[in-house]
């Protein structure tokens, strides 16, 4: 650990209400869910946060339920729990597919859906699924609860509309009509961060979302409209190139990402695996 331990504090809330009061009255506090990314920054001395809030024991933030066509997943639900869920498998199989691609078993056992959202990496594996499914993010503070469309959640690179006194408490998915599709392209099968990740829904109005090709996860509405209007795949691929903004970084290059994104679009739309 390159970060000194003694100055780091970890508040232990007794309940969700207590956690929200601590955030409001004694913040700023960095909420910890499964902690799979926080220690990467602490170990390498790149994370400046010093005061943390332990959410892990708050069981009321766990659980999966479906009511009136809405699938609701608690923010602390782990990827392992999502993979094991029959109801998610039936109604949102692309989320199960994404969860299987995250890290490996050890990370799937700790990592949470809410953590993936709050962490806000543009490479987050579940995020294109949330964008394509048009999920709602439930944010709660000590004083209010609000629901934000996931597609309006991020305002920039790792910046979101979540206030520092709010927690992501649940994610709600309306019924998704159409065939769901998910694909992650990384360096190896397990334990890799995506070079390009894409989720799509094939329907009369297709929905397509990509990660690792812009500062945030993106929907590509013009590409979707073109496909809905009967454009050829080549035409749609050309439009896609205008809607994504990949960069060169340690994991890949912009040109490779553009090529892969175009290929994934074709695979998705042609219905091939």
Partner 1 sequence: MKRPAFRPIVLTVNGARTAVRVPPMKRLLDVLREDCSLTGTKEGCGEGECGACTVILDGRAVNACLIPIGQAAGARVTTIEGLKGRHRLQAAFANLGGAQCGICTPGMILAAVALGPRPTLAQVRTGLAGNICRCTGYEGIYRAIAAARTARSRKAAASSQKLDARSRTSAEGRKQPKSRLPAEAPRAKAGVPSPESRPSTVLGAALSVSKGRVPPLDRARGGPERVEGPKAPSRSRS
Binding site for partner 1 (CB under 8 A): 1, 5-6, 8-10, 12, 32, 35-36, 39-40, 42-44, 52, 54, 56, 80, 100-101, 103-107, 109-110, 183-186, 188-192, 260, 263-264, 267, 273
269's tokens:
């739309």
Nearest-approach distance from CB 156 to partner 1, in angstroms: 25
Nearest-approach distance from CB 116 to partner 1, in angstroms: 14
Nearest-approach distance from CB 106 to partner 1, in angstroms: 5
Residues 6+ apart with CB under 8 A from 238: none
**Dist CA 177 CA 174 (whole Å):** 9
Nearer to partner 1, 104 or 161 (CB): 104
Nearer to partner 1, 6 or 270 (CB): 6
Nearest-approach distance from CB 103 to partner 1, in angstroms: 6
34's tokens:
């499964």
Nearer to partner 1, 145 or 191 (CB): 191
Nearer to partner 1, 74 or 111 (CB): 111
The torsion angles phi and psi of 149, rounded to 5 degrees, stand at -60, 135
**Dist CA 163 CA 217 (whole Å):** 19
228's tokens:
């809905």
Nearer to partner 1, 1 or 159 (CB): 1
CA distances from 147 to 33, 144, 183, 200 (A): 20, 10, 28, 23
Nearest-approach distance from CB 81 to partner 1, in angstroms: 11
**Dist CA 140 CA 144 (whole Å):** 6
């Amino acid at each position: 650990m390159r970060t000194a331990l003694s100055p780091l504090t970890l508040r232990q809330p007794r309940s969700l209400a207590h956690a929200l009061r601590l955030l409001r009255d004694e913040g700023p506090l960095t909420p910890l869910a499964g902690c799979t990314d926080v220690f990467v920054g602490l170990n390498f001395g790149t994370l400046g946060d010093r005061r943390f809030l332990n959410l892990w024991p708050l069981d009321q933030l766990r659980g999966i339920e479906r009511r009136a066509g809405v699938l609701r997943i608690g923010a602390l639900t782990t990827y392992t729990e999502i993979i094991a869920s029959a109801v998610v498998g039936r109604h949102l199989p692309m989320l199960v597919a994404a969860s299987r691609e995250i890290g490996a078993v050890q990370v799937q056992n700790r990592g949470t859906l809410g953590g993936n959202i709050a962490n806000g990496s543009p490479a987050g594996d579940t995020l294109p699924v949330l964008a394509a499914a048009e999920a709602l993010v439930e944010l709660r503070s000590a004083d209010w609860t609000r629901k934000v469309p996931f597609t309006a959640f991020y305002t920039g690179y790792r910046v979101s509309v979540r206030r520092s006194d709010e927690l992501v408490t649940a994610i709600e998915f309306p019924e998704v009509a159409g065939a769901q599709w998910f694909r992650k392209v990384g360096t190896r099968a397990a334990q890799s961060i995506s070079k390009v990740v894409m989720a799509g829904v094939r329907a009369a109005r297709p929905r397509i979302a990509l990660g690792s090709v812009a500062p945030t996860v993106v929907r590509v509405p013009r590409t979707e409209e073109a496909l809905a209007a009967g454009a050829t795949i080549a035409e749609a691929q050309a439009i896609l190139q205008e809607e994504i903004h990949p960069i060169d970084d340690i994991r890949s290059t912009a040109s490779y990402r553009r090529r892969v994104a175009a290929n994934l679009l074709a695979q998705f739309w042609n219905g091939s695996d």
